[in-house]
Structure 1
Amino acid sequence: MIEVEHVDFLSFLTRDIPRAKHFYSEILGLELESDGDDDMEFRAGQVTLDIFNPASQGQPFAPSLGGMALRVPDVDAARAALEAKGVEFDGETRETSVCRMAFFHDPDGNLLMLHRRFDAE
């Protein structure tokens, strides 16, 4: 058994670093922490989001279908703000017994979700 203290980072792949940089910084409003020719890192709450071009390491591209849930104060307000910036969502906002969520993709097809648990502090 191991002791996990924290998730340090998640990685998404991109084919186009400038396009991904625009989406994550200008559309989503995430803080850019580091910026390179083939990779960059953004602050997403308590986690770092690493985005890199796999071709720079001789690897094939494939979008993340597992995705990342972005905890927001108000899913509907966040969705409206992103739709105003041209983001298209995958269907209607969903609600379960524990949360409210809205799914969308970045320009490379990586799955993202606006999310709020009903019991969130």
Structure 2
Amino acid sequence: MLTKHRLMYVTLAVRDLSRSRQFYEEVLGLPALDPDDTSVSYPLGHVVLTLIRTSDPAVPLGERDRSLTLTLLVDDMRAVGAAMDERGGSLRPAQTSRAGTMADLYDPDGHWLCLYEASEAAMSWPSGGKIRALRRAAGDGPGLELLYVFLYVHDLHATEKFYQGTLGLVPLEVNTCHRGVTAVPDGVVKYDAGGVLLTTHHVGDAEHAAEHRVTVEGSAGVALGFHTADLDAATTELSSRGLAFTGESPVSPIGVAAGFADPGGHRYYLCQPSAETMARPSGAAIQRILRADL
């Protein structure tokens, strides 16, 4: 079951790697790991974010991708937002709800990011305990922490069957949406995926989706990865639970991986990093994350 593995990798396709690096390094202030002509990685709290250059026209980039949100935890929205604006971040106006304060921004390829400062009420929820655990594990100077990956979905039954039945994930918290995207009381389901809260967010119908400008179909420009030390064992166990993997498991200097998708087409992979990867700076970040008590 995926409760044995941590969601550790977020991979974003980009068109112009140099332009994207400027955004992530200068605007967000992230330190680059293992940069080359085709990719670069960044530590983003307790995950590793990787940008991969693509020229594939089938990967839609440039328009705003509203299929998922990468939500970054901050302690002081006003200070962080002002600093990012000065560096060209172009934050949209902040919104406040019972959960806290949020402000959206987009990278050069339209990937959707959100800064989030939790409210006092939110810190009393089960997810508040996760926030404290992540902050303790980060130590001094936590910087930006990827807290939530929000996935927008339409079919609640199929989504719950997949994430809970097939993947074996256990909900940490179930509640409604505080921004009005869905009125279903249990429309927001948060799963503790190790270093982040993987969160499925119901969207009621096409009218709701259009109103809030979200889509319930996964993007080809984003993939999420669970770390495993033994890919063969992990795929065998998950296959026995009914998970269908897509194609062969390619072997590369980076490691070996097996892909799959949820009912809405959001893309995942299980990844066993190679010894070569683990010897690089990004491998050191992976080892640090694996040692963290979360």
Short-chain TM bin: 0.7 to 0.9
Q: Secondary structure at the match of 2:109?
A: coil
Ranges in structure 1 where 5+ consecutive residues have no aligned partner = none
Preserved CA contact (<8 Å) 1:13 1:62: no
Preserved CA contact (<8 Å) 1:54 1:60: no
Distance 1:89 1:4 in 2: 36
Deviates more, 1:94-103 or 1:64-73: 64-73
Superposition deviation, residue 59 in structure 1: 6.0
Preserved CA contact (<8 Å) 2:26 2:87: no
C-alpha RMSD of the superposition: 1.7
Question: In the alignment, residue 27 of structure 2 is paired with which amino acid?
Answer: I
Structure 2 residue 39 is the aligned partner of structure 1 residue 35: no
Distance 1:4 1:31 in 2: 29
Distance 2:118 2:3 in 1: 25
Preserved CA contact (<8 Å) 1:67 1:113: yes
Question: In the alignment, residue 50 of structure 1 is paired with which amino acid?
Answer: T
Distance 1:110 1:79 in 2: 18
What corresponds to 1:101 in structure 2?
A: 102
Matched ranges for 1:49-64 at <5 A: 49-55=49-55, 58=56, 60-63=58-61, 64=65
What corresponds to 1:47 in structure 2?
A: 47
What corresponds to 2:209 in structure 1?
A: none
Distance 2:5 2:100 in 1: 25
What corresponds to 1:114 in structure 2?
A: 115
- Higher RCO (CA < 8 A, seq sep 6+): 1
**TM-score using structure 2 length:** 0.38
What corresponds to 2:71 in structure 1?
A: 69
Deviates more, 1:18-27 or 1:61-70: 61-70
Distance 2:30 2:46 in 1: 12
Q: Secondary structure at the match of 2:3?
A: coil
Superposition deviation, residue 100 in structure 1: 1.2
Structure showing the higher helix proportion among its residues? 2
Distance 1:116 1:62 in 2: 30
Deviates more, 1:109-118 or 1:2-11: 2-11
Preserved CA contact (<8 Å) 1:15 1:61: no
CA offsets 1:8-57 (integer angstroms, 9 cap, x no match): 111112110011111111211112112121111111111111111222xx
Larger radius of gyration between Structure 1 and Structure 2 = 2
Distance 1:5 1:71 in 2: 22
Preserved CA contact (<8 Å) 1:42 1:48: yes
Q: Secondary structure at the match of 1:69?
A: strand
